[in-house]
Amino acid sequence: MLNRRNLLRVGGSAALAVVASGEGLLSPAFGADSDWTRLAGRLQGDLVLPGDANYPYAKQLQFAAFDSVNPQAIAYCETVADVQACVRVARRNGVGVRVRSGGHNFEGWSTGPGLVIDVSRLNHVSVGASTVHMGPGAASIDALAALAPHNKQIIAGTCPTVCPGGFISGGGIGNQTRMFGLGADRLVSAKVVLADGSVVHCSPTRESSLFWALRGSGGGTFGIVVDFEVKPIDAPNMVHFVTYWSWNDAQRMFPAWQEWMASAPRALGSTFVGYLFDAAPGNAPGIGITGGFHGPKSQLDAELARLSALSGAQPVNTTVRDLSYVDGMKAAYLCDTISTSQCHRVGQTPDAVLPRTGYQTNGFRLFNRSLDSSTNDAILTAFEADRHAGQGRFLQCIAMGGAASDINPRSTAFWNRDAQFLAGYVALGEKATPADEAAATAFIDKGSAVLDPASSGAYVNFPSSKLPNWREAYHGGNYPRLLRVKQAYDPGNFFSHPRSIGS
């Protein structure tokens, strides 16, 4: 591992010379060890190269399936200047880059064969008079824990290690979204390193078109956000609930959940999950309905009774807890019995216990209305079909609407403002054999074919490389404007991935 500290420590005069010389001396055909040594010499953070002992860890994303991608180098940036140095050196030398914060992208867009600019160490969380500043690498669990003593809350999703770098850039849906909007809707300003290495501060009054584009079009396209300033939400408490239902009631529960959420108070956020931990033939699926409520527990109890009345079914198990916001979120993360430090992906902290996912194949779509009974039946049938032993299968549906739908689709880059819920299939497992891959692909393809005709769009933070018409599905009528912003801020398409704007 290379960094300025150990370069200076080994005291090589050649190294010192190149540190002083800057990037002007870089060779035209960049890529030799000495080229990387020069870049490392300019970084406060660390540059990890393929021969380094920690390279196998440094290249990891949340999904082990992307371990097959071998970047030329991973730069752990510790300062904005580090990010600028990486961008300038990569650009001048024609090295492709990918930007990485939490590394959760389903399709591996935060890694690639060139230089991975990792901003996970830009993880500050600071509280101002009326706003909060967060680094792109501030994992949800850390941000929530850091803000709790200040009685401040932010919108966060259902994974403790997802980071603002991707979450806010792509929209950001949480249990709080129906009441407070998307994560991106709370953005007040952002600091961004552009493709020429300069830093701009954008807000509604400065660089306003970039500010518009950053709110919901997805990361990795316009520049590297190094600071998010967000308006906190007013949610000191959260009633967290988990209910389980029999799959025998699925045909009643699935439409009832849609009807329930369509008429629920905005203070209620929830997710419907059909689950098969092992999709071996004969195994019975289950249903979980979980979420958070920003109001009195008695009102949530009444809402759960209303769900039973709508479905005509009773849960087999219910847990409802009136908690502080941070504890409610820890419960949602299944981290309520471990420390904040443990609630990280293994390797991220010394005592982290959360495992990575091996492989995961997804097909998610957005829906702007409750579905008719034949579509609901087809969705459930596709979930149960084509069993494959050892593979986990999920039908996951996250309620949206409410405050997220109050905003005009053209006011921010997040187009699908009429979405009432996100729904999709997941197939996952540890290490995929070719048979596992084939089964997962067939399951997701068939499921997506059922979802597609009824869908109203798609969510760029739940991407699928097979999504047809992705420009329209993710960005709708905002795509032409996004292209113009791309042209203005990154005309050379320096920041790109398979579904970045302009690709």
Ligand X SMILES: Cc1cc2nc3c(=O)[nH]c(=O)nc-3n(C[C@H](O)[C@H](O)[C@H](O)COP(=O)(O)OP(=O)(O)OC[C@H]3O[C@@H](n4cnc5c(N)ncnc54)[C@H](O)[C@@H]3O)c2cc1C
State the nearest-atom distance from the C-beta of 27 to ligand X, in Å. 27
Residue with smaller CB distance to ligand X, 12 or 347:
347
Q: Which is nearer to ligand X, 163 or 451 (CB)?
A: 163
The reply to whether 155 sits near ligand X by the rule CB under 6 A is: no
Answer for which of 71, 170, 232, 392 binds ligand X (CB under 6 A) is 170
The reply to whether 190 sits near ligand X by the rule CB under 6 A is: no
CB nearer to ligand X: pick between 35 and 490: 490
Q: Which is nearer to ligand X, 224 or 371 (CB)?
A: 224
| Residues in region 92-121 near ligand X by CB under 6 A | 98-105, 109-110, 119
Residues 40-69 that bind ligand X (CB under 6 A): 62
Exactly one of 114, 172, 181, 291 binds ligand X (CB under 6 A); which one?
Answer: 172
The residue within the footprint of ligand X, chosen from 41, 136, 269, 291 (CB under 6 A), is: 136
Of positions 125, 163, 194, 467, contacts ligand X by CB under 6 A = 163
Token code pair at residue 244: 């389980």
Q: How far is the CB of 497 from ligand X (least distance, A)?
A: 5
CB of 101 to ligand X, least distance (A): 3
Three-state DSSP state, 116: strand
How many of the other CB atoms lie within 10 Å of CB of 278? 13
Question: In the bound complex, what is the minimum distance in angstroms from residue 218's beta carbon to ligand X?
Answer: 6
224 is a site residue for ligand X (CB under 6 A):
yes
C-beta of 157 vs 197, nearer to ligand X: 157
Count of all residues that appear for the chain in the document: 503
- The residue from 30, 36, 66, 167 that contacts ligand X (CB under 6 A) is 167
Distance CA 458, CA 476 (A): 10
For the bound state, the minimum distance from the C-beta of residue 107 to ligand X, rounded and expressed in Å, comes to 8
The residue among 279 and 354 lying less far from ligand X, judged by its C-beta, is 354
* Shortest distance in whole angstroms from residue 160 CB to ligand X: 9
In the three-class reduction of DSSP (H, G, I as helix; E, B as strand; rest coil), residue 131 is classed as: coil
Enumerate residues 406-465 that contact ligand X by CB under 6 A: 461
DSSP 66: G
Give the C-alpha separation, 503 to 499, whole Å.
6
- What are the phi and psi torsion angles at 5 (to 5°)? -60, -50
In the chain, % helix, strand, coil (3-state, to 5) comes to 35, 20, 40
490 phi and psi, to 5 degrees? -145, 65
Report the nearest approach of ligand X to the CB of residue 214 (Å): 8
Question: What does each C-alpha distance from 432 to 66, 193, 358, 360 come to in angstroms?
Answer: 12, 37, 8, 9
**Whole-angstrom distance between the N-terminal and C-terminal Cα of the chain?**
33
Q: Tell me: does residue 345 bind ligand X (CB under 6 A).
A: no
Of 197, 161, 112, the residue nearest 500 (C-alpha):
112
Do 419 and 367 contact (CB within 8 A), yes or no? yes
Residue 162 contacts ligand X per CB under 6 A: yes
Residue 359 and residue 76: Cα distance in Å, rounded?
25
In the complex, what is the shortest distance from the CB of residue 114 to ligand X, in angstroms, rounded to a whole number?
12
**106-109 long-range contacts, Cβ below 8 Å, gap at least 24?**
106/63, 106/360, 106/362, 106/462, 106/463, 106/464, 107/463, 107/464, 107/465, 107/498, 107/499, 108/61, 108/63, 108/65, 108/66, 108/69, 109/219, 109/220, 109/463, 109/497, 109/498, 109/499, 109/500
Total residues in contact with ligand X, by rule CB under 6 A: 32
Cβ-based nearer residue to ligand X, 146 or 460 = 460
Catalog residues that contact ligand X under the rule CB under 6 A.
62, 98-105, 109-110, 119, 136, 157-159, 162-163, 165-167, 169-170, 172-174, 219-220, 224-225, 461, 497
